[in-house]
Chain A
Amino acid sequence: QKEVEQDPGPLSVPEGAIVSLNCTYSNSAFQYFMWYRQYSRKGPELLMYTYSSGNKEDGRFTAQVDKSSKYISLFIRDSQPSDSATYLCAMSSNTGKLIFGQGTTLQVKP
């Protein structure tokens, strides 16, 4: 079993939809949770960073961490075609070693 599981998709939604992206994990030592966005042929770009449980909001993006269920989510409100990308979850314990999910490919259709 992988330490971090992420459905690779692809996920296709119409413009304006609310998008929910999710990851599950097995290692209860994870304390740091990140979401990266990766456009085609580019490096990953850090989108959201959360420490421990709870929610964090940044514009149209909301990250949620539920440590009791070992489940993290990224919500995108009012999705735009420019949000079309691969979204990678990543997490870490205090070792600083990041474990990445496979990434979910999202397409937002105009």
Chain B
Amino acid sequence: DVKVTQSSRYLVKRTGEKVFLECVQDMDHENMFWYRQDPGLGLRLIYFSYDVKMKEKGDIPEGYSVSREKKERFSLILESASTNQTSMYLCASSLNRVEQFFGPGTRLTVL
């Protein structure tokens, strides 16, 4: 079974803080994704990566950056957290980009 883990289930940060969300997968997948999920808006793609050190913007990249130094690890960085970044953040990995396997999510609250 594919296992995708995320560093924290719940996180509370203050406005202006730099926030790191970590994601690790154990299936040697090339493709990894970061989404945010908000009520009424569904899942929206922030960034994805199809190889180590490669990244592409998704639909809502503003205010976020990513890092992929190793194949199994994909990090999402909020450079200066704002209250409108309070959300559920979901990481996914995929061998073929289509069948995506999700982690348990990190519920981030920015005060």
- Complex: how many Å from CA A11 to CA B36? 24
The residue from B45, B98, B102 contacting A44, defined by CB atoms under 8 A apart: B102
Q: How far is the CB of B55 from chain A (nearest CB, A)?
A: 14
Query: Given the interface contacts A34-B99, A49-B98, A92-B98, does A43 sit within 8 Å of B42 by beta carbon?
Result: no
- Complex: how many Å from CA A95 to CA B48? 12
Majority-rule SS of A interface residues: loop
- Complex: how many Å from CA A25 to CA B23? 31
Report whether A98 and B42 are in contact in the complex, using a CB–CB cutoff of 8 Å.
no
Report whether A42 and B31 are in contact in the complex, using a CB–CB cutoff of 8 Å.
no
- Complex: how many Å from CA A34 to CA B100? 10
Q: Report B78-106 CB contacts with A as 1/0, cut-off 8 Å.
A: 00000000000010001011111111110
The residue from A88, A98, A100 contacting B98, defined by CB atoms under 8 A apart: A98
Report whether B42 and A103 are in contact in the complex, using a CB–CB cutoff of 8 Å.
yes
Report whether A88 and B100 are in contact in the complex, using a CB–CB cutoff of 8 Å.
no
Select from chain B the residue with minimum beta-carbon distance to A91: B98
Query: Given the interface contacts A42-B105, A88-B43, does A96 sit within 8 Å of B96 by beta carbon?
Result: yes
The residue from B31, B45, B102 contacting A45, defined by CB atoms under 8 A apart: B102
- Complex: how many Å from CA A43 to CA B101? 9
Name the B residues within 8 Å of A101 (CB-CB).
42
Select from chain A the residue with minimum beta-carbon distance to B104: A43
Report whether A42 and B101 are in contact in the complex, using a CB–CB cutoff of 8 Å.
no
Residue A53 interfacial (CB < 8 Å): no
Residues of B within 8 A of A (CB): 4, 31, 40-43, 45, 48, 58, 90, 94, 96-105, 107
Question: What are 28 sample pairs from A and B whose C-beta atoms fall under 8 A apart?
Answer: A8-B40, A32-B98, A34-B98, A34-B99, A41-B107, A43-B4, A43-B90, A43-B103, A43-B104, A43-B105, A44-B43, A44-B90, A46-B99, A46-B102, A49-B98, A88-B42, A92-B97, A96-B31, A96-B94, A96-B96, A97-B48, A97-B58, A98-B43, A98-B45, A98-B98, A98-B100, A102-B40, A102-B42
